[in-house]
Structure 1
Amino acid sequence: MRPPKMSDETALEALLALNAPLPAPWQISSGKLCKHFRFADFNAAFAFMTRVAMAADMMDHHPDWRNSYATVDIELMTHDAGGLTTLDFALAQCIEAALA
């Protein structure tokens, strides 16, 4: 069973915790957890997306994303819950780990 939608207050607390150690923060925009990533080139961006895809598949929770050459834009939300859940923040942490 999927986790329930977070309240706005709980999502903001989770966002602050997620962003605490990061040099570039995630944002909540239009009810989605969002971040823009820039890489040296297309190969680096695609390799990052491959690492994220593997983690997302293991979680059975997949990002909405766009890639243009060396940039990747990611939006997370749990569609069947109608908003942000703990799954989105867990996947965001996996995405940050994929940068390493």
Structure 2
Amino acid sequence: MSKLSNEDIEKRLLRFPDWEFYDDAIHAEFEFENFKDCFSAMSRIAFECEALNHHPDWSNTYNILSISLSSHDVNGVSDKDFKLAEAIEFIVEPEE
């Protein structure tokens, strides 16, 4: 696994409009109806994190979930971060 270039990160972020790149990580914030829904999403995301063996820096305040993804072993963003971001998007975004 290798660190992605800033150009590659910005190009990949076109598929993830809720995410931003700064401080060598990709970041997103999601708002839920209430704390229970937020915590439920966090629990589902935790299972994806374990499956990918990749864990976010995250926090929540009531119904807001803040997530930062980076790969510490490459000191930046890698493909693993985008795989986890994709799984997170699938969990938090309602199906249309």
TM-score (norm 2): 0.92
Tell me the equivalent position of 1:38. Answer: 31
Residue 78 of structure 1 aligns to a residue whose secondary structure is coil
Matches within 5 A, 1:24-35: 25-35=18-28
Which digits, 9 at most, give the CA deviation of each residue in 1:48-86, with x for residues without a partner?
Answer: 000100001000000100111111100000011100000
Note if 1:79 corresponds to 2:75: no
CA drift of 1:12 comes to: 1.1
| Consecutive unaligned residues in structure 2, runs of 5 or more | none
| Consecutive unaligned residues in structure 1, runs of 5 or more | none
Q: Which has the higher helix share?
A: 1
Partners of 1:93 and 1:14 in 2: how far apart? 11
Aligned-pair identity (%): 33
Query: Structure 1 residue runs of 4+, over 2 Å off?
Result: none
Counterpart selection for 1:89 from 79, 82, 87: 82
What CA RMSD, in Å, does the superposition of the two structures yield over aligned residues? 1.0
Tell me the equivalent position of 2:47. Answer: 54
TM-score (norm 1): 0.88
Partners of 2:6 and 2:31 in 1: how far apart? 28
Q: How many residues align?
A: 93
Decide whether the 8 Å contact of 2:18 with 2:29 is kept in 1. no
Note if 1:7 corresponds to 2:2: no
Tell me the equivalent position of 2:63. Answer: 70
